[in-house]
Amino acid sequence: MYDDILLPTDGSKGTAETVEHAIAIARDNDATVHVLYVLDRRRYRAADDATKEEVRKSLEEEGERAVEDLQVRLEEAGVAVETAIRDGIPHREIATYADDADVDLVTMGTHGRTGRDRVEKLGSVTDRVVKSVERPVLVVDIGE
């Protein structure tokens, strides 16, 4: 049923909870997990000119660590893994990758914010992905 599972990561600890679900589903289906980190261009473009490149490099290093950490975790669990780092707007790049790789399932975490908390955050990447992809999305509550 699931041959390819997309596991986007932002490098946060919340991804650890989501990865456990991806591992279980991948094992049950002999699936490949695609780990994706999106270098959020809005973060480095917003920096002043003197620090723009430094911010970008820092984000690249963060992404490399995040992807490598998950790759090791998945391989230790006996799951096939592919990794990618893309540059762009996270929800758009996740949706594009899901299409490009023809994944069967996207697994993502959410903090489960509602009301004022959610409005203050201007919506979540997960919420935008759920609304923009035409494939199943498993949303894992990762709490605060």
Assess whether pLDDT exceeds 70 at residue 144: no
Q: Return the number of other C-beta atoms located less than 10 Å from residue 109's C-beta.
A: 27
**CA–centroid distance for 105 within its chain:** 12
Could you state, in order of their start, the residue ranges of all structural domains in the chain?
4-141
**Residue of 84, 86, 71 lying closest to 41 (CA atoms):** 86
Assess whether pLDDT exceeds 50 at residue 97: yes
Assess whether pLDDT exceeds 70 at residue 31: yes
pLDDT reported for residue 111? 64
pLDDT reported for residue 114? 52
pLDDT reported for residue 115? 47
Q: Which segments of the chain are extended strands (E)? A: 4-9, 32-40, 80-88, 105-110, 137-141
Q: Which CATH superfamily is domain 4-141 in?
A: HUPs (3.40.50.620)
Residue of 58 and 111 predicted with greater confidence: 58
Q: Which residue has the tokens 């695609």?
A: 34
d(CA 24, CA 29): 9
pLDDT averaged over the chain? Answer: 89
Structure tokens at 81: 């893994």
**In the sheet that 4-9 helps form, which strands lie side by side, from edge to edge?**
80-88, 32-40, 4-9, 105-110, 137-141
pTM score of the predicted model = 0.88
Q: Residue 2 in contact with residue 24, Cβ under 8 Å?
A: no
Structure tokens at 65: 């660590």
